Amino acid sequence: MTTDQKVRGSSPFERASCIDVSFLVEFDGNDPSPVRSGVTKVVVAGLMLLVSSGCSAGSERSLPTDSASTVPESTTTSENVPAVPNTWESVYLGIWRDFRAAQNEGDYPLNVTLSPTVDVASAEESVAAYKDAMRLWLATLDGVPATRVEWSIMTEKDHAWWLERVTANEGRERALQWDESTNTFGHCHLTSTSFCGYTSVFPAAPEDFAVYQYSVIGSEYSSRPNPETVNHEATHFYQLGLVSRFPDDTPCWFVEGQATLYGVALHVDPAVDQRSSTMRRDRYVDIVRQFQPNAGKHSVTDWVDVLQRMYQSEPSCGETQQYFKYAVGLFAWEHLYDAFGPAAMHSLLLDLRDGATFETAIETVLGVSTTDLEVRLADYLVSVFD
Ligand SMILES: [Zn+2]
């Protein structure tokens, strides 16, 4: 059993909160092949985090709050907008439209604590990027109180500091994600150039919980925050701050799928650089094909079968197929966004927050049964891989 499995336990919420954080985010370079942390190559590009306010131990430092915006100006012109956007381009353009419109929102409550060794400028840059990303979710919340995010940022040298932070935040028994013997941190293999993190929600109660983010910015990490990583993780701040525990009948592609969609869509605006946007998305097409070599020949029935094998106990949701659910989830969410829109998807999360099962929330908010939804998603997957 891996460290991650121990941490996650069997609850979908725990899986959701801990899984991704560390992972994805950047396949970095040209190799999108699934890489288990601890194994070899690691990837690690993006991620960061925050920590708690009011936790100012002597050695901790606080960040300035007025970081400059990192949101690029829109350079959309009539020439670089796709002439006739296809479905996914329309979805991504819509996400960018909402993202830019949300930049007049205030700051999401991120309580940041830095370890003694982390570079302040790097941490500050990451926090600024997250604040920009969270404005989209502040706009989405539309007045619903934001759950506090307690964000601890450290380097690969700070295991003892991390242990203190987790113990103070969640209790010593939750300090399982950083294994010193293998130097794994969530899904990352830590090095001096790592940039990764993981998220956890605690306690898993309907009220009075916080989102805990633990991030490592390697002591020699020198790149800028990765937009895909930032927006992926920011989506989790929103999701997990709203729904501390997803119902047991939630398919495993759901939580990661939304985060992956927003991470990929906001990595680069297709209206600015359509080729790069397409390439970024194609990484996930390739990942699905790694696990479904015959994807191009799959019928609707075949895809329904794939989707019906994407619940927590299934191999498709397990450690060895980690990336598969992110990739399938991305495409599932493209359809959800296209067919129902972001407002409906927010309503769906509100229903889940209020205790609905996944099946009930889908029927209530989207007006379809989960069985019918799987057929619709399968139909879209056929179009993606055709
Ligand atoms: Zn994730």
For ligand 1, the distance from its centroid to the CA atom of residue 233, given in whole angstroms, is 6
For ligand 1, the distance from its centroid to the CA atom of residue 232, given in whole angstroms, is 6
For ligand 1, the distance from its centroid to the CA atom of residue 259, given in whole angstroms, is 6
For ligand 1, the distance from its centroid to the CA atom of residue 234, given in whole angstroms, is 9
For ligand 1, the distance from its centroid to the CA atom of residue 132, given in whole angstroms, is 18
272 DSSP assignment: T
For ligand 1, the distance from its centroid to the CA atom of residue 240, given in whole angstroms, is 11
Mean pLDDT along residues 300-308: 97
Q: pLDDT at residue 3 above 50?
A: no
pLDDT recorded at residue 256:
93
For ligand 1, the distance from its centroid to the CA atom of residue 78, given in whole angstroms, is 34
pLDDT recorded at residue 202:
81
Q: Sorting pLDDT into bands at 50, 70 and 90, what band is 75?
A: low
307 vs 25, more confident? 307
Q: Measured between alpha carbons, how far apart are the two ends of the chain, in Å? A: 37
For ligand 1, the distance from its centroid to the CA atom of residue 83, given in whole angstroms, is 32
pLDDT in tens, 276-299: 999 999 999 999 999 999 999 999
For ligand 1, the distance from its centroid to the CA atom of residue 80, given in whole angstroms, is 30
107 vs 29, more confident? 107
For ligand 1, the distance from its centroid to the CA atom of residue 119, given in whole angstroms, is 25
Tokens of 205: 């109660």
Q: Sorting pLDDT into bands at 50, 70 and 90, what band is 10?
A: very low
pLDDT recorded at residue 70:
58
Mean pLDDT along residues 164-190: 91
Q: Name, in order, each residue with C-beta under 8 angstroms of 94's C-beta and a sequence gap of 6 or more.
A: 337, 342
pLDDT recorded at residue 206:
58
For ligand 1, the distance from its centroid to the CA atom of residue 69, given in whole angstroms, is 24
Residues of the chain above pLDDT 90, percent: 64
64 vs 127, more confident? 127
Write out the H or E segment, with its range, that includes residue 112: strand 110-114
pTM for this structure?
0.79
Rounded Cα distance between 60 and 276, Å, is 39
Q: Sorting pLDDT into bands at 50, 70 and 90, what band is 81?
A: low
Domain ranges in the chain?
3-63+103-242, 253-385
Q: pLDDT at residue 46 above 70?
A: no
For ligand 1, the distance from its centroid to the CA atom of residue 237, given in whole angstroms, is 10
For ligand 1, the distance from its centroid to the CA atom of residue 358, given in whole angstroms, is 19
21 vs 197, more confident? 197
For ligand 1, the distance from its centroid to the CA atom of residue 167, given in whole angstroms, is 23
For ligand 1, the distance from its centroid to the CA atom of residue 227, given in whole angstroms, is 14
Q: Sorting pLDDT into bands at 50, 70 and 90, what band is 63?
A: very low
Q: Sorting pLDDT into bands at 50, 70 and 90, what band is 86?
A: very high
Rounded Cα distance between 41 and 60, Å, is 31
Strand 184-185 with 149-154, pairing? unpaired
For ligand 1, the distance from its centroid to the CA atom of residue 147, given in whole angstroms, is 18
For ligand 1, the distance from its centroid to the CA atom of residue 24, given in whole angstroms, is 7
For ligand 1, the distance from its centroid to the CA atom of residue 126, given in whole angstroms, is 17
For ligand 1, the distance from its centroid to the CA atom of residue 199, given in whole angstroms, is 9
Q: Sorting pLDDT into bands at 50, 70 and 90, what band is 163?
A: very high
Q: Which of 151, 63, 156, 169 is nearest to 117 (CA)?
A: 156
pLDDT recorded at residue 229:
87
Given a contact cutoff of 8 angstroms between Cβ atoms, the answer to whether 17 and 9 are in contact is no
Tokens of 369: 């049964």
